Every structure is written in structure tokens, then in C-alpha cells.
Structure 1
Amino acid sequence: MVTDLGGPVPKVERHEHEAPEFDLHEFARTAVGSHRDELRLDEYQRRPLEPGTLRCLSFVRDVERSTMRYLRHVLVTPTHKDARITAFLTTWAFEKYWIADALDVTLAHHAREAPGPGSGRGGDAAIWRGVHDRFAPIRRALVDNTLGDDVIATHMAAGTVDEWITRAAYLRIARLEDHPELTRMITTLVGVKARHLRFFEAQARARLRRSSLACFLARRRLRRSLWPMNPPGDASHESAFFFGRVFSPVPALVEQLDRRIQALPGMAGITLAAAAVAAGVPQRRGT
């Protein structure tokens, strides 16, 4: 469902040195909201999704829901001063909310129990994550505001990588299950996310090309990162299952993702996708 967010969209100036044109006014005007009316849930009555597919959908649902954690880290840095990027992120967060909602409705429709948001082990790890989420933005603000606008390239590169890997995950889940309604829903969600990728990738390439410091910062942080970059709670057990089922059986796809990341300016040699799979599946087990 295309949703008009209401009210006039403020004019955002674009400078010559910025990325190729992305129509923010059109993006905001045609923001895609709830998918509920388009979901054919009765199709799952005849053929429910496999338990493994439900677990993977639950994991990516929680990844989509981690948007607000990402924004808490990003919007305390110089990125929030860039009007085009903050305008984009507003609609981006709105669309991701409804993507997560579509996955939520699909999971809830099934009688089988699927892990809820932020599921996983609690205890000390959950407490530590809460403390980290509270104070990490403060530390990030102090560091990144010292570094200046070159930090923006890092956020755009991270967004690009996140979209590439998430898209690959959705398509793998659809292929593994081979359920017509799931494939239809995922095709719709991937189509919504295609606009997100166009913005992130164009911004990342343009900003990395024009600054060696931006390349250095992005390279350093991506080398230290794993996907998902804003993990959904303490979901280590679900992460192991997800990577073991979705990515471990297709090393060629993982290699292809890393080649795509390496093609970003200044990112040669980075193997983020392979590192994420290796970290997500510490031991090869049956899936």
C-alpha cells in the first residue's frame, strides 16, 4: 500500500558534489505502508511454511525492526546535519517498519511457535546489551563529531552492505521454501527495499570517491563489523541457525557478496560476508 505521509515535503537542496539524483519528494510521497491487505494468508492454510523457514523469517523480521537502534547511533553524528540523508532516513524507517509488520503477520498466522522480537538468551548478556544500547550513542557522538562529514560515507557504506546481504537472504529464503505466496510477498518486500539500496549505494560511492579519509574510516569500521550490523538482541542461537540454513550451503553467493562489497571505492580485500557467516556458524551442524 502506497502511503502519502501527509503535508508538504520540504525542499531539500542538492549540491553538485553529491551523489546522482534521487527524488526524495517522490520517495516520501509514495512511501509504502502496510502490506496487510495484500497478504494472502489463506494460502498458508493449505500449505504452511516449514519450521526452519519461520525461524529465518523471524530473524530477518527482527533485523528489520532494529532500525531504531541504528538511528540512535547515526543521528547523533554529523549525518543528522545532512538534510537529504535525514529526509531519506525518515521514509526509510517508515517503510522498514511495515516490512517487519508484514513478516510479523505471516509468522503470527502460523500455528507453530516462532521466536518473538529480541528473542534469545537473556540474563547477563541481555543486561549488557541494554547498557551498551544506552551509552554507545554517546561515545559514537563524541568520536564521529570530531571526525566530521567523512563519517557519513561510513554510514552510507554500511547501509549499502546491509541492503545487499538482506536482499540475498530474502531471496534465499524464498528459494529454499519455494512457496508461491511467500515468494510473492518477498518479491514485494524486496521491491520496496530496492529504492533504499539505490539511495545508499549512490551516496556511498560518491562520498567514498571524493575522500581518502572517508575510505579509511569506512574500511576500518566495515572490517570490524559483522552482519547484521545492528543485531536483534541476544539472538546468537537464532543467528547460528539462520546462517547455517541460508548462507553456509552457498559459498559462491557469499563470495559474490564480498566481491560486491570489495567493488566499493577503497574496500578492496574486505570479506565481511564470509566473516559474518563464519561468526554466525561457529561449528557446522545440521540445519
Structure 2
Amino acid sequence: MTFNIAGYINSAGRVQVDDLDLDAFVRHPLSAATLRCLRYMSDVESHTVCYLRDVLVTPSHRDPDVTAFMSMWAFEEFWHGEAIDEVLRLHGLKADYEHIRSVRAAQGLKDRISPVLQSVAANTIGEDFVAVHMTWGAINEWSAHAAYGSLIEKEGHPELTKLLSRIQQQETRHLAFYASQARDRLARSRRARALTRWTTQRFWAPVGSTIEPEEETRFVLRHLLGDEAGAKAIRQIDEKVAKLPGMAGLTLVERGVARFGTGARTPAAGPRRKGRPAPG
């Protein structure tokens, strides 16, 4: 099914928070584990504009459907971060632009050279690179949707459930765009299929793992996906990825989370590869 880009543009917007009972977070505070996960999620959502920067220097910027979607995607993701930050502040945690600035500053040299390297590689490859970007985005959005769902189930806080469910609803449309684009682009180009399979196998890593300290990624993955329900969610994401043209037989998410000690797969010997930042 073709994604309705015009319908999405006309209905995209800020996640609704005005009707939430924010005082409920004061009366019934969230657990320390949930707050730690929310901090991680906020950092990822707030970093979206940096992912967008890296993508706009690639052939993806030449497709008006892609740029129209990504303009609205970055807008909605910004407000996801703002909404989560409000919850963090209600618990006495620092959640402001100074914190966001510190996360970006911590990326150091890799952040400065990332758009240069990605531009050179992607523009050398050409149009087929867009299939990599779309597939990567789909994997990340499936992962983010599962993570929010797991946090809803584990915490069981009514107002948090309302907020995260609304974020999930918007993430559902994001992943629908990425998956639709990935299927179409992979289906029509053998080169795109080979390139996407090779790139994701070697460089994909769990959402946020390229910007957060390793111990935070390890904690979040174990807390949200380290049980039987999490293992099932991981398998379901890999099954969705495997249905994309040229991606059969891959277990990208299972392998990716295993590098952080989550799931059943034993990590391969040798140093852990880190993936490039991609949409989340």
C-alpha cells in the first residue's frame, strides 16, 4: 500500500499533552528504572535533527516525498522529546536545552565528520543509498515502537500510558512511511538490495547506542527487552525486516541487542561494531 504523504503532512502535529493530569506524576512518581529509560528516549528524540542533518547531505534530499515526510517527522519527534522532558522535570530531573547541548557536545569529532563521510559515501553510491536510509529508518521505528510499548506495560502508570500511546501512534505513521519506501526501493533494484543487506548487517546498532554511554544502552535494552516478552518483540521486528525484499534470513535486532548482553544470541568474538546514527 502506498503511503499517503499528503494526508500525513496535513495531519502531522505536536503530540497532545494539554489534557494530561501532570499532577498524577507528583502524586504517583515513576520508578527510577522508568525515569532512566525516559531520559534515554528523550535524548534519542531530541537528537532527531542531527540525524536529519546527516540524511540531507545524501541523495535522499532530492526526493520531494522523502523531504516532505522528514520535515514533519523531525517536527513530531522534537515534540516527543519535549513531552518526555516535562515528565522528567516533574520528577526533579534536569531536562532542558543545556542537557541537549551536552549530549551533542559529547559526540565530539565523530559528530563533526559524520555528515562529511556520509555525504561522500552516499553520493558516490547514488540513488540506491536511499533504500539503505529507508530500511534503517524502518528498523529503528519498529524498535522505538516496541520500546515504548514495553515501558507502558512495565510501569502501568495511567498518565504515562496516555502519553506514550500517543507517541506510539505517531511513530506508527513514521514506520509506515519508512517501510513502504524500503519495500518499493528494494523491490526495484538488485543493487539496492545487496547494498542495504551489506550495510545493515555490518553497521546497524540499537537505537540510541551511538549517542548514549554504553552502560545506559545496556540498561535500557535489558530493562525493556531482557525478558520473554522482550525476546518476542525482538523476533517480531526481525521477522518484519526479513519480509523486506533482499533481507530474508537476517536477525539484525537479535544480533544488535546481543552485543549489549540482551537476548539469547551469544555476541561474536572481537570488538563490537558501532552503527551510524539513524532515525529513531
TM-score, normalising length from structure 1? 0.83
Q: Distance in 2 between matches of 1:177 and 1:282?
A: 20
Alpha-carbon contact 1:73-1:137 (below 8 Å) kept: yes
CA positional deviation for 1:227: 1.4
Correspondence for 2:21:
40
The amino acid that maps onto 2:44 is V
- Residues 72 and 113 from structure 1, CA distance in 2 versus in 1: closer, same or farther, beyond 3 angstroms? closer
Q: Distance in 2 between matches of 1:232 and 1:183?
A: 27
**Superposition pairs for residues 1-287 of structure 1, below 5 Å?**
20-33=1-14, 35-111=16-92, 116-117=99-100, 126=106, 129-224=107-202, 225-228=204-207, 231=209, 233-250=211-228, 251-281=231-261
SS of match in other structure, 1:35: coil
- Residues 283 and 166 from structure 1, CA distance in 2 versus in 1: closer, same or farther, beyond 3 angstroms? closer
CA positional deviation for 1:38: 3.0
The amino acid that maps onto 1:167 is H
State the percentage of identical aligned residues: 37
The amino acid that maps onto 1:130 is G
Alpha-carbon contact 2:257-2:263 (below 8 Å) kept: no
SS of match in other structure, 1:39: coil
1:121-154 per-residue CA deviation (whole Å, 9 max, x = no partner) reads x9xxx4xx32111112112111111111111111
**Aligned residue pairs, count:** 258
Q: Distance in 2 between matches of 1:118 and 1:173?
A: 26
Alpha-carbon contact 2:131-2:186 (below 8 Å) kept: yes
CA positional deviation for 1:270: 1.8
CA positional deviation for 1:102: 0.7
- Residues 202 and 187 from structure 1, CA distance in 2 versus in 1: closer, same or farther, beyond 3 angstroms? same
1:197-223 per-residue CA deviation (whole Å, 9 max, x = no partner) reads 111111110111111111111111111
Correspondence for 1:4:
none
- Residues 111 and 138 from structure 1, CA distance in 2 versus in 1: closer, same or farther, beyond 3 angstroms? closer
Alpha-carbon contact 1:54-1:114 (below 8 Å) kept: no
Structure 1 residue runs without a partner (length 5+): 1-19
The amino acid that maps onto 1:160 is A
Alpha-carbon contact 1:92-1:196 (below 8 Å) kept: yes
CA positional deviation for 1:41: 0.7
CA positional deviation for 1:164: 0.4
TM-score, normalising length from structure 2? 0.85
Q: In terms of Rg, which structure is larger?
A: 1
Q: Distance in 2 between matches of 1:174 and 1:53?
A: 9
Q: Give the alignment's Cα RMSD to 1 decimal.
A: 2.3
Structure 2 residue runs without a partner (length 5+): 265-280
